[in-house]
């Protein structure tokens, strides 16, 4: 395993062969490489490529991201190997398939001014949380039914999948705990009014997602923010039974609201922008 944020030390010197291979890979503007890439550069058996990858990661020149996949730590990073490449590129290499979602997508689309030290990765696979050079990467496993609504987006010289504005809102309504809570979702929805957000698409995505709690949260917030949702009456009629928490990141207090069939455990004033409250 490569050096971590806690125990990494000064990078060790390279052999001539290692230096040549690493320079050749880096000269192609690659940020993420595979064992096959090393194999091609060395023109040697796969076992030799694996051995070199292990050696380079032990010396602090590569960071192992996933099985057979490594991040090149550039010379510009200095002796302590601090890496500055776009976090989305690293996130996309950790698990496949994947797209950047939740709070990270909100930041990307400019829907919130609050920054998160965690990069959220939506995937259909099981993957563990990782910390790489001070950044936490959190994969969130979802069903195939929920894995949609993303688009390729430029991140430096690489393209990564990022949730669309509409899917970001719906995903965050599905899991407010991954976007900083319901107040952050309210801010994002208000910000989305001034963007190219399609509320027709938001409604369509809510139906595809199939989570009654997410639909109730979106409808409730839209009413508080004076956002006119299309097919509003149909959405209200589709409300499922039960009273999920408006904000699952908060305590289970507050009244059960019969109109929205939600347990309002957050005051309206704390989720509504001041100019609307």
- In sequence order, which ranges of the chain are alpha helices (DSSP H)? 16-27, 35-42, 46-58, 87-94, 102-108, 165-174, 182-192, 199-209, 212-224, 232-237, 268-271
- What local confidence, expressed as pLDDT, does residue 32 receive? 85
Whether 95 and 188 share a structural domain: yes
Whether 48 and 119 share a structural domain: no
Question: Above 80 in pLDDT, residue 26?
Answer: no
Q: Distance (Å, rounded) from C-alpha 124 to C-alpha 71? A: 23
pTM for the whole thing? 0.80
- What local confidence, expressed as pLDDT, does residue 182 receive? 96
Mean pLDDT of the chain: 86
Domain of 119 in residue numbering reads as 87-271
Of 77, 108, 123, the residue at which a domain comes to its end is: 77
Q: Identify the residue with better confidence: 117 or 257.
A: 257
Whether 72 and 94 share a structural domain: no
- What local confidence, expressed as pLDDT, does residue 153 receive? 92
Q: Does residue 276 lie within any of the structural domains?
A: no
Whether 122 and 70 share a structural domain: no
pLDDT-derived band at 115, boundaries 50, 70, 90:
confident
pLDDT-derived band at 11, boundaries 50, 70, 90:
low
pLDDT-derived band at 15, boundaries 50, 70, 90:
confident
């Amino acid at each position: 395993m490569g050096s971590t944020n806690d125990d990494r030390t000064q990078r060790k010197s390279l052999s001539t062969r290692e230096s040549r291979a690493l320079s050749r890979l880096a000269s192609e503007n690659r940020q993420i490489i595979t064992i096959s890439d090393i194999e091609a550069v060395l023109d040697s058996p796969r076992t030799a490529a694996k051995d070199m990858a292990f050696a380079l990661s032990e010396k602090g020149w590569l960071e192992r991201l996933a099985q057979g996949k490594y991040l090149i730590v550039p010379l510009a990073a200095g002796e302590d190997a601090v890496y500055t490449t776009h976090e989305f590129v690293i996130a996309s290499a950790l698990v496949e398939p994947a797209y950047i979602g939740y709070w990270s997508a909100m930041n990307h689309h400019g829907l919130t001014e609050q920054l998160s030290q965690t990069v959220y990765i939506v995937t259909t696979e099981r993957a563990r949380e990782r910390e790489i050079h001070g950044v936490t990467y959190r994969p969130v496993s979802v069903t195939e039914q929920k894995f949609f609504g993303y688009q390729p987006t430029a991140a430096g010289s690489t393209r990564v999948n990022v949730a669309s504005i509409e899917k970001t809102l719906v995903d965050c309504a599905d899991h407010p705990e991954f976007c900083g809570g319901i107040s952050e979702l309210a801010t994002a929805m208000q910000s989305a009014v001034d963007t190219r957000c399609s509320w027709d698409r938001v409604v369509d995505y809510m139906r595809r997602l199939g989570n009654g709690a997410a639909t109730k949260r979106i409808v409730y917030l839209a009413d508080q923010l004076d956002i006119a949702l299309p097919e509003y009456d149909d959405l209200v009629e589709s409300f499922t039974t039960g009273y999920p928490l408006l904000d699952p990141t908060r305590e289970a207090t507050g009244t059960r609201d019969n109109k929205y069939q939600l347990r309002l455990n957050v005051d309206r004033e704390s989720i509504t922008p001041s100019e609307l409250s």
